[in-house]
Amino acid sequence: MRPPTAGSPRPAQPTTGSPAIPLHTFEGIDLHFQGLKHVSNRGPVKQRWTELCLITVRFCLLLTAVYALLPIGMALAFFGVQLAVFGVCMDASFVRLPAHEPAGPQLSLLRRNKAP
């Protein structure tokens, strides 16, 4: 077992994907927040006003439809589940689990592999 580095504590770096799944649920909230923060910064953003309009229209239509069709408690639960599923799907698509790595030698179609 390797000792943790000085800049990153061990609990923040799980060795398998299962302990990190609860953290993935919060990633949906963070991705929405980071997107709004990026568009609202003063830095150069291509088609800033188009993005802001589309984000505003999406939030307004979604909030109106959900709150018009569902009671308040169910609407809040809907948004919570939607953000959690979005975070898990987006974050898990980039996770590389060590349990899913092949144990044998890697075969490449672009390089000539010598037979063992």
9-56 pLDDT tens trace = 555 554 555 666 677 778 888 888 888 888 888 888 888 889 889 989
Q: What is the pTM of this model?
A: 0.57
Higher pLDDT, 23 or 67: 67
Q: What is the 3-state secondary structure (H, E, C) of the chain?
A: CCCCCCCCCHHHCCCCCHHHHHHHHCHHHHHHHHHHHHHHCCCCCCCHHHHHHHHHHHHHHHHHHHHHHCCHHHHHHHHHHHHHHHHHHHHHCCCCCHHHCCCCCCCCCCCCCCCC
Lowest mean pLDDT among 55-59, 67-71, 72-76, 111-115: 111-115
Q: Decide if pLDDT at 72 tops 60.
A: yes
